[in-house]
């Protein structure tokens, strides 16, 4: 577990949560596919060697309760946001 604690400390001090969420969101959206937690941790957060369980925990910690993200058996994706032509009255 020490590596997990070190990574959490690294994440909290290196990047703010909003910046992490934005980077994760953009990476998934730009790649237009479901992405594994390991790939997100390595490519977006620049943490090498984290296993699946640790990677999932890091992504869950990073995104918090942002409901734009969806996790399934194959990985993480972003929900498509529908834009309305006019505000709902």
Is 58 within 8 Å of 17 (Cβ atoms)?
A: no
CA distance 64 to 17: 8
**Structural Rg of the chain based on CA atoms:** 14
Residue 31 confidence (pLDDT):
96
Tell me the pLDDT band of 23, cut-offs 50, 70 and 90: very high
Residue 71 confidence (pLDDT):
94
> What does the DSSP 8-state code read for residue 78?
E
CA distance 84 to 80: 13
Over the stretch 31-55, which tens digit does the pLDDT of each residue have?
Answer: 999 999 999 999 999 999 999 999 9
- For the chain, the structural domain boundaries read 2-65
- Three-state SS annotation for 22-41: HHHHHHHHHHCCCECHHHHH
Residue 8 confidence (pLDDT):
72
């Amino acid at each position: 577990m020490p590596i997990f604690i070190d990574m959490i400390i690294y994440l909290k001090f290196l990047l703010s949560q909003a910046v992490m969420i934005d980077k994760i969101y953009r990476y998934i959206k730009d790649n237009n596919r479901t992405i594994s937690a390991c790939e997100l941790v390595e490519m977006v957060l620049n943490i090498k060697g984290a296993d699946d369980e640790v990677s999932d925990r890091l992504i869950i910690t990073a995104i918090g309760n942002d409901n734009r993200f969806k996790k399934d058996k194959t990985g993480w994706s972003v929900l498509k946001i529908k834009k309305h032509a006019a505000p709902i009255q």
